[in-house]
Structure 1
Amino acid sequence: MEKWLVILGIWAMCATCAVLFIRGATGGSGKREAVEKRTRPASRASAGDTRAALND
């Protein structure tokens, strides 16, 4: 019985990791679009100028 609990625990951990990996790999695209829609063009332009100044 103890052996089956260990095997079941390993399978459960593998399944949980697979689910979390798949959710993490596919969840980022929607978030990026939402952030880009909220950002105003003026703030994006000034951030670019700041990065250019820092790189010089």
Structure 2
Amino acid sequence: MTIRVYTVTRDGAVTARRPIVTVTYDREVVPTPMSTALPPCACPIHRAESCR
């Protein structure tokens, strides 16, 4: 699979084309576990021990 990456403005106008990324499919992929849990918030407020 080939992924083309572009740098865009906030309006969606392309400003630069980034290098092409090629993803190979000849290796075994470990699926992401199915879960409804979200990762913990990393903001300074929720990193405090009192919020855990």
TM range, smaller chain: under 0.3
Name whichever structure is richer in helix by fraction: 1
Q: Given the two structures, how large is their TM-score scaled by the length of structure 2?
A: 0.24
User: What TM-score results when the alignment is normalised by the length of structure 1?
Assistant: 0.23
Please state which structure has a larger fraction of its residues in strand.
2
| Greater radius of gyration (CA) | 1
Query: Which has the higher relative contact order, 1 or 2, with Cα contacts under 8 A spaced 6 or more apart?
Result: 2
